[in-house]
A and B are shown apart, each in its own frame.
Chain A
């Protein structure tokens, strides 16, 4: 029998946390700070709307791009929150989570096999590199550093530019570092992007979870809208991960092609979720603010605890992650995380799951109740104290 498989996909390694996942799942009384989704339930009025749509028998496909009313609300929301205008008739589409939007944006813009390069700042979410490869592009990693607070600087961008560079993925607020890009940061790189005629795929799924001023989208910077695919969704802001609902806003020529891929591969985003999404955008400002405030409080709590126990960490202003450095312990992220799990039953994600330059870091999520955080931080502190005193003994 011939090999049934595509070499391209076989070569792509699976995401690197399987091992932890298996151990944690087996372990009783383990505390995990390894979750990448909100701990809040979807606000009830949103769930209610989903239930109601089912009761009404709204169980059919929607149009490919999504319900008209939902697209219109997305347009309003983007204008109201971030000051960018998109025409809901041909510049907005509803996707199955932000993840689908990332995939189809890359596929709509890359010519396979022509060596077109996609710049991907890391540490970052795991899908950008594989999706680029699957779309036939060449991923080029930009390694961000703690000294820049893991922001993308013009220098870092220029370093990796080649004549083949076509797209920059902009994953801010960032998973796993919690880094944000403020308006000035965006303006600085926008200049280069326009001068070098690049396009941007801006993954702003954590946009609402910003703890220093308001989130700025790069699409709001003059000249950037026509070269940006803006991706956002419902998972993080409205605690709706399982609904699988996201969206993309882009100039019509790009969106039209993305829509074709979506039409053939997906048909439409889940109808129930779309109805719930309308309610989310219309009536959730207060819920979002409450959750944001809760995350912000825990963020401060975590940062304070890190300082107390001598765990170095730059101050993150976005998402719900901290990214402390464990370099001083002379262990890899993987070793540290494995020992922490075995010895204190606390699960965190090694920074290397998000790119090689995540080595020496851990992603610690604060999408947990204060009580869970307290318990876990106590265990981490005990672990670190033990490491520090062991070191003393050997010296």
Chain B
């Protein structure tokens, strides 16, 4: 049941518990239980909203930063990551395979703000060797959702 619950709420976390139970053919109590368990086990880590900020008057800049680091004795990747993700500007941090070590997503109000964060906070960390900052210009698809206009139903209204 867990996989099925997750598959539905991954796309629609606001679905009524009652509806979810009907869709899955389970009792409401059982589904509620399972969700509570998964929250406790930190399988479900949050319920966020996918916002297209471009359609608001809010100014936001997002950047993806490639970070190379040197792990030091007593200070593995996890420790370095922690020193990075504690900053409230940092949206996400991933450890990567390949040419660099961390992908850090940053959100700021202006490009200058982001640039300052990188040069003053991130680059100055002892373990950080280098950074490469890439600004997001436009989002087409995020979290499996196409950001553009929602698709219209173009089928004929009745067919046999």
Chain A residues with CB under 8 Å of B24's CB are 297, 300
Query: Is A20's CB under 8 angstroms from B160's CB?
Result: no
Of the candidates B19, B22, B23, B158, which one forms a contact with A35 in the assembled complex, judged by CB atoms under 8 Å apart? Answer: B158
* B159 part of interface (Cβ distance < 8 Å): yes
Cα distance, A125 to B159, chains bound together (Å): 11
Query: Is A37's CB under 8 angstroms from B159's CB?
Result: yes
**Nearest B-chain residue to A348, judged by Cβ:** B158
Chain A residues with CB under 8 Å of B158's CB are 17, 20-21, 24, 32, 34-35, 347, 349
Q: Tell me, rounded to whole Å, the shortest Cβ–Cβ distance linking A95 to chain B.
A: 19
* A30 part of interface (Cβ distance < 8 Å): yes
B112-160 CB contacts (< 8 Å) to partner A: 151, 153, 155-160
Q: Tell me, rounded to whole Å, the shortest Cβ–Cβ distance linking B108 to chain A.
A: 34
Q: Tell me, rounded to whole Å, the shortest Cβ–Cβ distance linking B5 to chain A.
A: 11
Total residue contacts A-B, CB cutoff 8 A? 55
* A301 part of interface (Cβ distance < 8 Å): yes
Cα distance, A30 to B153, chains bound together (Å): 12
Cα distance, A219 to B8, chains bound together (Å): 36
Cα distance, A354 to B24, chains bound together (Å): 31
Contact with B along A22-62 (1 / 0, CB 8 A): 00110000101011110101000000000000000000000
Chain B residues with CB under 8 Å of A37's CB are 155, 159
Q: Tell me, rounded to whole Å, the shortest Cβ–Cβ distance linking A338 to chain B.
A: 13
* CB-CB under 8 A for A17 and B22, given A37-B155, A39-B153, A39-B155: no
Cα distance, A120 to B16, chains bound together (Å): 43
Chain A residues with CB under 8 Å of B159's CB are 34-37
Query: Is B22's CB under 8 angstroms from A30's CB?
Result: no
Q: Which of A298, A370, A372 has the most CB of B within 10 A?
A: A370
Number of residues of chain A lying within 8 A (CB) of chain B: 30
* A261 part of interface (Cβ distance < 8 Å): no
Cα distance, A36 to B155, chains bound together (Å): 9
Contact with B along A289-309 (1 / 0, CB 8 A): 000010001101100100000
Chain A residues with CB under 8 Å of B22's CB are 300-301, 304
**Nearest B-chain residue to A16, judged by Cβ:** B160
A9-24 CB contacts (< 8 Å) to partner B: 15, 17, 20-21, 24
Chain B residues with CB under 8 Å of A35's CB are 155-159
Cα distance, A37 to B4, chains bound together (Å): 25
* B99 part of interface (Cβ distance < 8 Å): no
* A231 part of interface (Cβ distance < 8 Å): no
Query: Is B157's CB under 8 angstroms from A30's CB?
Result: yes
Chain A residues with CB under 8 Å of B8's CB are 297
Contact with B along A148-176 (1 / 0, CB 8 A): 00000000000000000000000000011
Cα distance, A252 to B160, chains bound together (Å): 31
Q: Tell me, rounded to whole Å, the shortest Cβ–Cβ distance linking B34 to chain A.
A: 16
Chain B residues with CB under 8 Å of A372's CB are 153
**Nearest A-chain residue to B22, judged by Cβ:** A304
**Nearest B-chain residue to A304, judged by Cβ:** B22
Contact with B along A174-212 (1 / 0, CB 8 A): 011000000000000000000000000000000000000
Query: Is A17's CB under 8 angstroms from B160's CB?
Result: yes
* A288 part of interface (Cβ distance < 8 Å): no
* A133 part of interface (Cβ distance < 8 Å): no
Query: Is A301's CB under 8 angstroms from B23's CB?
Result: yes
A344-371 CB contacts (< 8 Å) to partner B: 347, 349, 353-354, 370
Offer 7 A-B interface pairs, CB within 8 angstroms, sorted by A.
Answer: A17-B158, A30-B157, A37-B155, A125-B160, A176-B160, A301-B22, A347-B158
Residues of B near any A CB (own CB < 8 A): 4, 7-8, 19, 22-25, 151, 153, 155-160
